[in-house]
Structures are given as C-alpha cells and as structure tokens.
Amino acid sequence: MRVIVDYDQCDANGLCSELAPKIFELGADDVLRVREERPRPELWPAAEEAARACPKLAITLTEHA
C-alpha cells in the first residue's frame, strides 16, 4: 500500500495524524507530513480509517508502488 496526499486539497486539520500518528504528522508549522509513505501491513487499517475520515478526501491509498 502507498499513501498519497493531495496537498492542494488538504487543509491540515490533523484528523489523520490523530487517527494514524505513525503514518501522518502535523507539524508545529501546521503542515501535514507523511511519515510512512508505504506503511507496514499492520498499519493499513489505521491508514484506511484516516483516508475515510479526511473531510477533504485528500488522502488516497493505492495498491501499487
């Protein structure tokens, strides 16, 4: 799985970093960063939850590299 963030859509509300802190990080500068672009399989459920919860639908998960 690969995590892709559309930064043009992202409003950096931090919901994804609360749901999946090992994958997403909201910096002190209010800029979202992807900590693990290709998360380990045990983190996939958290990545999926964060993508579903994103109010701007800015997170895409792909099966391909």
- Which domains does the chain carry? 2-62 (3.30.70.20)
Q: What is the pLDDT of residues 39-59, one digit of tens each?
A: 999 999 999 999 999 999 999
Q: Are 8 and 30 in contact (CB under 8 A)?
A: no
Stated pTM of the model: 0.92
Confidence of residue 65 (pLDDT cuts 50, 70, 90): low
Q: Are 22 and 52 in contact (CB under 8 A)?
A: no
The bridge status of strand 59-62 relative to strand 32-34 is unpaired
Q: What is the pLDDT of residues 2-40, one digit of tens each?
A: 999 999 999 999 999 999 999 999 999 999 999 999 999
H/E stretch holding 34: strand 32-34
